[in-house]
Structure 1
Amino acid sequence: MEPGFWHERWQKGEIGFHLDRFNPKLLAYWPRLAVPVEATVFVPLCGKTLDMLWLREQGHRVVGVELSPVAVSQFFEENDATPEVTACPPHAAYTTDGIRLYLGDYFALTPEQVWHWGPKAPAHTAIYDRAALVALPPEMRPRYAAQLRSLARPGTKMLLVTLEYPQAERAGPPFSVPPDEVFRHFADVSSIEHWSDDDVLPEHPHWQARGISYLREHVFALTWHR
C-alpha cells in the first residue's frame, strides 16, 4: 500500500477509521496494563486520534508518528494547540505540552526519536496500537512488526487492538489480523496475553449490510523481554 493512498484518504476526508471519542478498549484495558504514570507512550500511525489526549491525561508523555500532514495539522487545530515545529530529518517534529508528533515515515523512525526527547530518557516505555497493524495489508505487516521490534525496549508494555473477519468478504483497510498472526510477529520477543475476543458485528451495521459473516475485536497485552 503506497503512501499516496493515505494522503488521498486524508485529503478527501475519507477517514472512517477515525473515532470522535476515546476508544472504549483503551479506556477499559489501559489501566489493567499498569503502565507507570511517568512512562512515554508511542502511538504508531497515529492519525489525529483523541486517544493521545487521554493518554496524556493519565500523566504519560506521548509520541506519535503520522505520514499525513493533514492529520497532524488537524490534530493540533481541533484541539486548540499550537505546536513548536522543529526539523528532525527525515521528519518534522510537532511538539506541544506532553505530546510530540513526528510527521513522516514510520519506517524511518529511530528509538532515539521515540524515547529520547524531553529533559531525560524515560525509565518506562509503552506502545498503543489500535489502528496501525490493521491498517496494513499482509505483505507490509512483517515489516511493520520488525520496525516495532526495533523500537521497543526490554520491559516495554503494549496494548494492541486488532480486528478479525473473513478477509475474502471485504477488502481492507482495516484488514483482518487474527490472533495467530499477532503471536507469529511478536511471541519470540515478548510475552503475550489475549485479553478479549468480542463479537462487534452488531455494532457495525454497515459491515452487516455488506454481508460480512462475522467481525471480532481482539485485545492483547504484550511485554517485551528483548
Structure 2
Amino acid sequence: MDASFWHQKWKENNIAFHESESNPLLIKYFKELSLAKGSRVFLPLCGKTLDILWLLSNGYRVAGAELSKIAIDQLFADLGVEPKISRVDQVDHYSAINIDIFVGDIFDLFGKMLGLVDAVYDRAALVALPESMRKRYTAHLKEITNKAPQLLICYEYDQSLMEGPPFSISNEEVNQHYSDSYDLTLMASTNLTGGIKGKCAARENVWLLTGD
C-alpha cells in the first residue's frame, strides 16, 4: 500500500473513513490524558478530521501529519482559516494560529520539524497501515514525539473476512508496539455498530498510553 492509494482516495473523494462529526470516543476519553489547556496534540495521518476542530474549540493546540494536500486544503477551508505555507525539507508546513499541519510522507517528518508534542491522538493512523509498515510507524512516532502519551483507537476483527484498511489491530499487537515505552490501559472495548464497512463484526478498542 503506497502513497498513490491514498492520493487516489482523496482525488476521487472516496473517503468513507472521514467522519461527519467529532469522534465520540475522543470526546469521552480525551480527559484521561490530563492535559492543560494550550497543550499541543499531534494527530498522525489526520486527513480533514473534525476532531481537529473539537480540539481547537476546547483550547488545545494541534499538530498533524497528512499525505494528501487535497485533504489539508479542505481542512483549512472548513476551518475558515488561511494557512501560511512553507517548505521544510520534503514536507509542506501549513500553519495558522494554534495549528500546524505537515503535508507529505510522515516518515519525512522529524522531531525537530514537528516541535514539542504533549500528547498523541491516533484514531486513523495505525489502523490505516498494513502490517508490514506498522512496526516502522510506531517506532517513528515514538521518536518524533519523544514518547508523548497517547490516546489510541483501534479496530479488532477477523482480518481473513475483509482486507483493510482499516486493518485489525489485536491487543497483543498494541502491546508489542508500545509496552516497551508506555504503561498501557485498555479504557474501553465495544462492539462496533454495523461492523467494519458492514462486512464483518468488529470491536473498537480505546487505549491510553502513558509514561512507564
Fold shared per TM-score above 0.5:
yes
Q: Mark the CA change 1:57 to 1:10 in structure 2 (over 3 Å): closer, same or farther.
A: same
1:74 paired residue number: 74
Tell me the amino acid that sits aligned with residue 194 of structure 2: H
Tell me the amino acid that sits aligned with residue 150 of structure 2: M
Question: What is the 5 A alignment of 1:60-139?
Answer: 60-116=60-116, 125-139=118-132
Deviation at 1:73, TM superposition (A): 0.6
Deviation at 1:144, TM superposition (A): 0.6
The 8 Å contact of residues 33 and 119 in structure 2, kept in 1 or not, is answered as: no
> What is the rounded CA distance, in whole Å, between the counterparts of 1:219 and 1:206 in structure 2?
16
> What is the rounded CA distance, in whole Å, between the counterparts of 1:205 and 1:217 in structure 2?
9
Deviation at 1:137, TM superposition (A): 0.7
1:166 paired residue number: 158
Tell me the amino acid that sits aligned with residue 151 of structure 1: I
Q: Mark the CA change 1:219 to 1:205 in structure 2 (over 3 Å): closer, same or farther.
A: closer
Q: Mark the CA change 1:78 to 1:179 in structure 2 (over 3 Å): closer, same or farther.
A: same
2:37 paired residue number: 37
> What is the rounded CA distance, in whole Å, between the counterparts of 2:43 and 2:59 in structure 1?
15
> What is the rounded CA distance, in whole Å, between the counterparts of 2:122 and 2:205 in structure 1?
12
1:121 paired residue number: none
The 8 Å contact of residues 130 and 167 in structure 2, kept in 1 or not, is answered as: yes
Taking structure 2 as the reference length, the TM-score comes to 0.95
Q: Is residue 2:138 matched to residue 1:145?
A: yes
Return the match for 1:196 from 188, 193, 202.
Answer: 188
Deviation at 1:33, TM superposition (A): 2.0
The 8 Å contact of residues 184 and 209 in structure 2, kept in 1 or not, is answered as: yes
Deviation at 1:152, TM superposition (A): 2.6
Q: Mark the CA change 1:58 to 1:206 in structure 2 (over 3 Å): closer, same or farther.
A: closer
> What is the rounded CA distance, in whole Å, between the counterparts of 1:111 and 1:36 in structure 2?
22
Deviation at 1:191, TM superposition (A): 0.9
RMSD over equivalenced CA pairs, Å? 1.4
> What is the rounded CA distance, in whole Å, between the counterparts of 1:204 and 1:151 in structure 2?
35
Matched-pair identity in %: 37
Q: Is residue 2:172 matched to residue 1:185?
A: no
The 8 Å contact of residues 125 and 153 in structure 1, kept in 2 or not, is answered as: no
The 8 Å contact of residues 195 and 202 in structure 2, kept in 1 or not, is answered as: no
Deviation at 1:205, TM superposition (A): 6.5
Structure 2, gaps ≥5 residues long: none
> What is the rounded CA distance, in whole Å, between the counterparts of 1:104 and 1:21 in structure 2?
25
Q: After TM superposition, what 4+ stretches of structure 1 lie above 4 angstroms from structure 2?
A: none
> What is the rounded CA distance, in whole Å, between the counterparts of 1:114 and 1:70 in structure 2?
21
